[in-house]
Structure 1
Amino acid sequence: MLRFLLLAVVVIGLAPGTFVRAPVRTRGEAAVVTVTPLAARTGVAGELELTGAWELTAEHGWFGGFSALAANGEGGLLAGSDRGFLLDLDISGEAPRALPGSFRFVGISDQGREEVIDLESLARDPATGTLWAGFEYDNLIIRFARDGTRRITAPPDMAQWSMNSGPETMERLADGRFLVIEEGTGSVDANAHQALLYADDPVAGAKPLAFHFVSPDSYDPVDAAQLPDGRVLILLRRVEYALPARFDTAIAIADPRTIRAGRDWRAQVIQRLEAGVFADNFEGMAYVPSAADPARGAVWVIADDNFSLFQRSILVRFMWDGQTASPAPDTPQTKKRPETPDA
């Protein structure tokens, strides 16, 4: 009973909105965002060079919960929250800056208690500006055109994914394909996550290739970003349920050219965030190429504060040197998982 009560307290502590740090205002009210540099440099280890860390704050009850990140192709980042908001960040200077008035609600609020707000992943077409967002609970993908129109789809292949650990990872690859990975597993193998590779826009109804992403060291995948050489970085997270909860984050690398229908796809860990301010709930990641040398650039990760007093909205920047972690491509597994259909 004591363990049950402790677990209940921890879960309540992680529940969004449990600890409200400012009055909950209307969704349309402007948020004045402050970006504060953090001096901490310990707590990270690996092949990427840490070049900056900042905390994002705003006196607005809906601010926080950032669980997705995407490059906007215009010298900036787009952060998405699990309360259905987007925030534009200008990263053209030495430090990021939130664009005034850019914190806006994009969820669906016209269905009474059946709101669609749990935005967990983002993907963007740099040529058209079209944006795709993955929503947990309902396991939906919503496409936002640049003119403001949107289209919603509930992919049949995602219908059985967990309500609380669905399409947490989504990335539009440079060749137009879409990679979507379930955060949960739903199988006897706690490391095997269902994954889909769409040949084109998933909202258009194409049938995906189905496979499994096998996460290293019992981590769960929470976001992805493609690099200039075609490989993909995958953001991984583990949670230790204590009071307060402790988070352990890793960044892994994998080659999408090795994905095969019905087989396992694996990644190699190249970076860990484990201590101090970096032991937080990092859920979003994006890669932004350097204007001077597109083969090099910055890897950005953002933390979801869960609207909790114990956590913060932290934005971190690493340098990608274009040469980090360059092993031979992974060899696809020869054994096919029987529960995964061919596509």
Structure 2
Amino acid sequence: MRLNRRLFLIGGGVTAAAAVVAERTLARPRAAAAITPIDISARPIDHFSVTDQSRNRFGDLLFRGGLDLRSSDSRFGGFSALWRSPDGARLVSVADNAQWLTARVQTSDGRLSGLAEAKLAPLLHENGRPLGSTGYYDTESLTIENGVAYVGIERKHAIMRFDWGASGVAARGTLLTLPEAIRGEIKDLPSNRSLEAIGVAPPRSPLAGSVIAIAERSGDADEPTRGFIVTGPRRGAFWVRRAKGYDISDLAFLPSGEMLLLERHFSLFEGFRIRMRRVAADAIKPDVEVDGAVIFESDSSHQIDNMEGLAVHQEGGETVLTLISDDNFSPFQKTLLLEFALKA
């Protein structure tokens, strides 16, 4: 989701002229018209806390390193979702202008060092048109499982299925048929706060193979938000508890079947905060309210931005979590790629 943070960008006594410039920077650029190689520079982030650089444990997370990513291509940015291959070697992201990013992950001494072979490409409708030229332009969530990519789309409140294993970024999206029991509820979600998180439950989950989607926020203040079991024999809707102003920004499943929820909060005075919860594997079922233990919550000393994407993979016996930020195509924000090991 594109947060309305114009007050943040133009506040603090900035002149009216600068305010106009800031306003214009928030427009989404048009996605690449075809598969386009790009160069990405990466500044290493060696410590997560700027006040205690020797610290590497944050709640249940162990910081492994990060990157501040930049490109001279103005279409680079806006990344709202993230996937990494099972070995962590490849990365796929979706930007909120209906654009893919693919890259090979580079490491040095076990830490992130850069992205190579990076490409941008438009997401395609089943008729071959770029999604950016259709009503399905606001792509916000992504998961890839068993060669199939599922992309959640705001405003249209839809999920598209891409045959990723066969065609990669050239795959054409087809709309996933929503069950009648939840179709109306999904269509009634707020226009710009809908399917922000999506995942496929792993084999050890009671919902194995089911597509799970959660709305960023479906009510006011700290009211629970709506979640959906979209496919499988236990299809239906559930609730996800919210608190402290956090909105859902992504989800990812652990091999155990547990679900991680990435949450994000923004305010004019505090800037960005993020939080992560761990939900039991058997907690997700129709007509219940889901909650989970908080395993991490950021503070003002942490190097974060608008963290919207979460991916999980296994590496050397560790469960590795990777986060990416959505810079809203604004020069006032950053595209950060952060990597943690789950230690509990």
Corresponding position: 1:39 with 2:52: no
Whole-angstrom distance in 1 between the partners of 2:282 and 2:119: 37
Corresponding position: 1:18 with 2:46: no
Question: 2:226 aligns to what?
Answer: 194
- Give the deviation of 1:130 after TM superposition: 1.1
Corresponding position: 1:117 with 2:117: no
AA partner of residue 178 (structure 1): V
The equivalent position to 1:309 in structure 2, one of 331, 336, 340, is: 331
Cα displacement string for residues 116-170 of structure 1 (whole angstroms, at most 9, x for unaligned residues): 2221111111x3x211111111111111103324312463241011111110010
- Give the deviation of 1:177 after TM superposition: 1.2
Question: 2:293 aligns to what?
Answer: 268
Q: Are the counterparts in 1 of residues 30 and 132 from structure 2 also a CA contact under 8 Å?
A: no
Whole-angstrom distance in 1 between the partners of 2:282 and 2:21: 41
AA partner of residue 195 (structure 1): G
Q: Are the counterparts in 2 of residues 191 and 219 from structure 1 also a CA contact under 8 Å?
A: no
Whole-angstrom distance in 2 between the partners of 1:284 and 1:133: 13
Structure 1 gaps of 5+ residues are 201-205, 325-343
Superposition TM-score, scaled by structure 1 size: 0.78
Q: Are the counterparts in 1 of residues 201 and 210 from structure 2 also a CA contact under 8 Å?
A: yes
Question: 1:70 aligns to what?
Answer: 83
For 1:120-131, list aligned pairs within 5 A: 120-125=140-145, 127=146, 129-131=147-149
Task: Quickly say closer, same or farther: Cα 1:47–1:151, change in 2 above 3 A.
Answer: same
AA partner of residue 221 (structure 1): I
- Give the deviation of 1:7 after TM superposition: 7.6
Cα displacement string for residues 56-80 of structure 1 (whole angstroms, at most 9, x for unaligned residues): 1111111101110112335322111
Q: Are the counterparts in 1 of residues 238 and 287 from structure 2 also a CA contact under 8 Å?
A: yes
SS in 1 for 2:282: helix
Whole-angstrom distance in 2 between the partners of 1:7 and 1:92: 34
Whole-angstrom distance in 2 between the partners of 1:279 and 1:41: 8
Runs of 4+ in 1 over 6 A off after TM superposition: 10-16
Q: How many residues align?
A: 303
Task: Quickly say closer, same or farther: Cα 1:82–1:261, change in 2 above 3 A.
Answer: same
SS in 2 for 1:257: coil
The equivalent position to 2:312 in structure 1, one of 271, 287, 305, is: 287
- Give the deviation of 1:286 after TM superposition: 0.5
Whole-angstrom distance in 1 between the partners of 2:211 and 2:69: 30
Q: Are the counterparts in 2 of residues 139 and 166 from structure 1 also a CA contact under 8 Å?
A: yes
Q: Are the counterparts in 2 of residues 70 and 78 from structure 1 also a CA contact under 8 Å?
A: yes
Question: 1:333 aligns to what?
Answer: none
Q: Could you tell which deviates more after superposition, 11-20 or 111-120?
A: 11-20
Whole-angstrom distance in 2 between the partners of 1:241 and 1:235: 21
SS in 2 for 1:256: coil
Question: 1:55 aligns to what?
Answer: 68
Q: Could you tell which deviates more after superposition, 232-241 or 213-222?
A: 213-222
Superposition TM-score, scaled by structure 2 size: 0.78
Percent of aligned pairs with the same amino acid: 21
Corresponding position: 1:168 with 2:161: no
Q: Are the counterparts in 1 of residues 9 and 22 from structure 2 also a CA contact under 8 Å?
A: no
Structure with the higher fraction of residues in strand conformation: 2
Q: Are the counterparts in 2 of residues 79 and 86 from structure 1 also a CA contact under 8 Å?
A: yes
